[in-house]
Structures are given as C-alpha cells and as structure tokens.
Amino acid sequence: ILNVEQSPQSLHVQEGDSTNFTCSFPSSNFYALHWYRWETAKSPEALFVMTLNGDEKKKGRISATLNTKEGYSYLYIKGSQPEDSATYLCAFRGNMLTFGGGTRLMVKP
C-alpha cells in the first residue's frame, strides 16, 4: 500500500490570506503527481499534473511545485477567496493513481 499523505487535514483562513499545503509521496517509481480540487456537492476537478522534478505549475492564484527526489509537492493559493473553499486532493501516479486524504480549506469572508 502506497503512502500518500496530505497536511494539514483542514485549514481555516481569512479572505485575502495566502496559504499552502503539502502532499508527500514515495520518491521511487514516480511517474506523475496530480492535484485535484473537490468542492462540496461537485465532482473533483483536475488542477495540475506534474512529472518533472522542479516542475512549477500555475493557474490563476493557485500554483504548485514538485520535488520528486524528496517526495513532496506544495500547493499555494495567493489571496484566498471564499470560492477557493474546497478539499484539495493530490494523487501519486505510480502503477495506478493513489490519492491522499485531502486538505479541506475553508476561507472566511
């Protein structure tokens, strides 16, 4: 069983705050690291897929970095907005896709 961990499990921030959270994964047999956003009552939505050590991806106020040698990825949100409230899932692509437990972000207006 692959160990894909996300921290923190939940996070409360004020509107306008910048925040970041972590996904840690095995550093061997790495193919790709995916990030998804899952809003309540909606389907998980793909944010990024990263494959190379040192990759950085950006989508609006959200960005992600990847360190495959040490087995972690950070997701950053700049100037959080209430609509950013969701669970953010990372998924390690080895032989199959293994999801972390998610970080639940709540942004207070």
Partner 1 sequence: GAGVSQSPSNKVTEKGKDVELRCDPISGHTALYWYRQSLGQGLEFLIYFQGNSAPDKSGLPSDRFSAERTGGSVSTLTIQRTQQEDSAVYLCASSLAPSGLYTDTQYFGPGTRLTVL
Binding site for partner 1 (CB under 8 A): 4, 31-32, 34, 36, 41-46, 49, 51, 89, 91, 93, 96-102
**Are 105 and 20 within 8 A, CB to CB?**
no
Question: To the nearest whole angstrom, how small is the minimum distance from the Cβ of residue 13 to partner 1?
Answer: 22
Question: To the nearest whole angstrom, how small is the minimum distance from the Cβ of residue 70 to partner 1?
Answer: 20
| Beta carbon nearer to partner 1, 5 or 17 | 5
| Beta carbon nearer to partner 1, 28 or 43 | 43
| Beta carbon nearer to partner 1, 78 or 93 | 93
Question: To the nearest whole angstrom, how small is the minimum distance from the Cβ of residue 36 to partner 1?
Answer: 8
| Beta carbon nearer to partner 1, 30 or 76 | 30
Question: To the nearest whole angstrom, how small is the minimum distance from the Cβ of residue 54 to partner 1?
Answer: 16
Q: What is the 3-state secondary structure (H, E, C) of the chain?
A: CCCCEEECCEEEEECCCCEEEEEECCCCCCCEEEEEEECCCCCCEEEEEECCCCCEEEECCEEEEEECCCCEEEEEECCCCHHHCEEEEEEEECCCEEECCCEEEEEEC
